[in-house]
């Protein structure tokens, strides 16, 4: 589960040998990436583990698989728009939070670039928090650890390819891509063991989320270009207010599109 954090420790050391400021840019971007990861991924993992363990102990394979399916659908429902935001709305997020004092426009751009690298793998970073408990509930600790070690090696191999071209942003992208591979192998492992059988309706659900996410990406790209997020000197509250309104609008657009497409959001509420 913590392979991304271990990779970050290593990557921070690598960043210290790159351009001045690389460590700071990577760290600031990581703080923003960790917010949705903790808010969604860690919370889901905490909720799922005891319920998965109870289902496994009772031999209730249908409930076990159903819990995993519910968790993964929530990941797709909420992590995809978060990833879209990090990829298309990185500069405004960084500018509103960090563009003060000695943190200049160049720092905003460099941090935003790193944040986009994390955004590319955000779904994997969050999905790991749901899939790994699927193994722990079955008292299988070895498989996730073996996968994590392999992904750790892969991440450093990706650094060799990406860092010469993308500098510090390549370090973030390597962690993101490694997380996607980690999540993919965990998912395949659960499928091969017969522990997880996807419930019907994934194709339609995926298309609904994809369509809403495309609309969200268009809106956030427009909003990012429409407002001069770096030009609010002395008007910090105005910039914060615009960001808040933009986020509210993005949420209304995304979930409104899902509802109009026929998705029943109440199905994700569990007792």
Tokens encoding 162: 């990406």
Q: What is the pLDDT of residues 219-254, one digit of tens each?
A: 999 999 999 999 887 788 999 999 999 999 999 999
Burial (CB count <10 Å: 0-12, 13-18, 19+), residue 166: middle
Residue listed under structure tokens 């969604």 = 40
pLDDT of residue 270: 67
Q: What is the mean pLDDT of residues 111-134?
A: 96
Alpha-carbon Rg of the chain, whole angstroms? 20
Q: Is the pTM of this model over 0.75?
A: yes
In this predicted structure, the answer to whether residue 199 has a pLDDT above a threshold of 90 is yes
Q: Cβ distance 128 to 183 under 8 Å?
A: yes
**What is the residue-averaged pLDDT of the chain?**
94
pLDDT of residue 74: 95
pLDDT of residue 268: 87
- Residue 187 CA to residue 5 CA, distance in Å, equals 20
What is each CA distance from 64 to 44, 53, 74, 108, 268, in whole angstroms?
Answer: 15, 8, 16, 44, 16
Q: What is the mean pLDDT of residues 108-134?
A: 96
In this predicted structure, the answer to whether residue 20 has a pLDDT above a threshold of 70 is yes
In this predicted structure, the answer to whether residue 200 has a pLDDT above a threshold of 70 is yes
**Least confidently predicted of 3-12, 89-98, 130-139, 167-176:** 3-12
**Least confidently predicted of 7-16, 177-186, 228-237:** 228-237
């Amino acid at each position: 589960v913590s392979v991304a954090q271990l990779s970050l420790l290593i990557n921070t050391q690598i960043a210290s040998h790159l351009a001045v400021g690389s460590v700071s840019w990577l760290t600031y971007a990581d703080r923003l990436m960790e917010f949705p990861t903790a808010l969604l991924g860690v919370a889901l993992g905490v909720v799922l583990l005891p319920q998965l363990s109870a289902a496994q102990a009772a031999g209730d394979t249908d409930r076990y698989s159903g819990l995993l399916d519910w968790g993964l659908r929530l990941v797709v429902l909420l992590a995809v728009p978060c990833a879209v935001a990090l990829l298309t709305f990185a500069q405004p997020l960084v500018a509103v939070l960090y563009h003060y004092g000695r943190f200049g426009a160049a720092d905003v751009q460099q941090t935003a670039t790193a944040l986009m690298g994390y955004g590319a793998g955000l779904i994997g970073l969050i999905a790991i928090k749901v899939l790994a408990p699927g193994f722990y509930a079955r008292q299988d600790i070895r498989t996730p650890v073996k996968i994590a070690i392999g992904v750790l090696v892969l991440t450093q191999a990706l650094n060799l390819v990406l860092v010469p071209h993308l500098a510090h942003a390549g370090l973030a992208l390597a962690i993101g891509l490694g997380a996607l591979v980690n999540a993919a192998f965990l998912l395949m492992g659960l499928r091969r063991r017969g522990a997880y059988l996807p419930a019907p309706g994934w194709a339609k659900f995926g298309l609904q989320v994809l369509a809403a996410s495309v609309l969200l990406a268009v809106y956030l790209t427009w909003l990012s270009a429409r407002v001069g997020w770096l030009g609010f000197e002395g008007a910090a509250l105005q910039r914060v207010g615009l960001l808040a309104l933009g986020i509210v609008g993005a949420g209304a657009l995304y979930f409104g599109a899902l509802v109009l497409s026929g998705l029943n959001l109440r199905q994700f509420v569990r007792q």
